[in-house]
Amino acid sequence: AVRIQRRKYRVLVPSTLNPYHEPVIRAYVEPKGLSVEKVKYDKETGLMDLEDLKEKLSPKDVAAVYIENPSFLGFIEENAKAIGEIAHDYGALFIMGVDPISLGVLEAPGRLGADMAVGEGQPLGLGMNFGGPYLGIFAAKWSMRIVRQMPGRIMGLTTTTDGKEKGFAMILQTREQHIRREKATSNICTNEMLCALGAAVYMALLGKHGFRKLGELIMYRSHYAAKKLNEIDGVKAPVFKSEFFKEFTVSSNDAGVKYETIHEELLKRDIHGGLYVGKWFPELGETALFCVTEMHDKNDIDKLVSSIKEILGK
């Protein structure tokens, strides 16, 4: 984005940015003299503060605005389209980080005005693999201004000269290290084709309708879990008054028990609880991020709920 937006050296990100992503972003951009600034969020809904966004964009020296949808804290950024429009009004690019599985039920980044979209491809049928290898997703709208700055090679679907068969061919090779040396846009020497092939097979087996059904199933189960947890005295789920996909925040602030204690007791019952987020978001107190997917059935969810009730003595 900064290469495209010349003489603009600021990038705006949400205050709810994934805390594991932030140090990686800073490691890449700060040696280049770029500035990463956070935009405030609404404490009730979790959504990005649009007024603060406009204020930070007003100098018109911002290269790009980046958001995550769904966010790290689980809620869906319902103002995504408005954020993109505001970014474009001030001459900035709009980038979205997405969970690919959510796109079976959520609007595609392109329809929300995103210039680029990135994401982690692990949910597309790949195992956890103790942290890797995984598959990165990088998409951009078809503008040569943007596409020519993408790393790697662009493959496209074409037909034979008689039009009878289809096949894939390289349609664009950007400035890679063997062509431009140190001025290359890409110097990546790893190959994720095995992961890409696995993801392609997974998506082909699901198909368009199966992908949607999967997203709906995840939302049904995650919302059932949040509803049952919220019924426990002293527990609030979700914390934010916004829609969510598979992850949601669960607060035990009113239960009088530290989440660390709850988590340790859940482990004794062979349940891995949510991720404690209070260390990154102290304003949320004793709050953890729980995740429910198609892998968790009603019995799993009910066991979690009954276990937390037992731990809290409810």
Q: Where are the domains of the chain?
A: 10-151, 207-312
Q: Which of 133-142, 184-193, 265-274 has the weakest average pLDDT?
A: 184-193
Of residues 49 and 173, more confidently modeled: 49
| pLDDT > 90: percent of the chain | 76
Other CB atoms within a 10 A radius of the CB of residue 89 amount to 11
Token representation of residue 292: 């429910």
CATH assignment of 10-151?
Answer: 3.40.640.10
The helix-helix angle for 259-268 and 298-312 (nearest 10°) equals 120
105 three-state secondary structure:
coil
Which one-letter amino acid corresponds to residue 254?
Answer: D
Q: Which of 275, 276, 264, 278 is nearest to 307 (CA)?
A: 264
pLDDT of residue 74: 97
Using alpha carbons, select from 126, 131, 128, 127 the residue that is nearest to residue 201: 126
Task: Say if residue 35's pLDDT is above 70.
Answer: yes
Which residue type is seen at 6? R
CATH topology of domain 207-312: Aspartate Aminotransferase, domain 1 (3.90.1150)
What local confidence, expressed as pLDDT, does residue 178 receive?
Answer: 64
pLDDT at residue 77 greater than cutoff 80 = yes
pTM of this prediction? Answer: 0.91
If you average pLDDT over residues 102-107, what whole number do you get? 96
pLDDT, tens digit, 9 for 90 and up, residues 145-171: 898 888 777 888 899 999 999 998 888
**pLDDT band (50, 70, 90) for residue 172:** confident
Averaged pLDDT for residues 83-108 = 97
- Among the residue ranges 15-24, 84-93, 136-145, 280-289, the one predicted with the least confidence is 136-145
Residues 183-200 have pLDDT tens digits of 776 665 566 788 989 999
Looking at residue 176, its pLDDT comes to 63
Query: Which region, left, alpha or beta, applies to residue 206 given φ > 0 means left and ψ of -120 to 50 means alpha?
Result: alpha
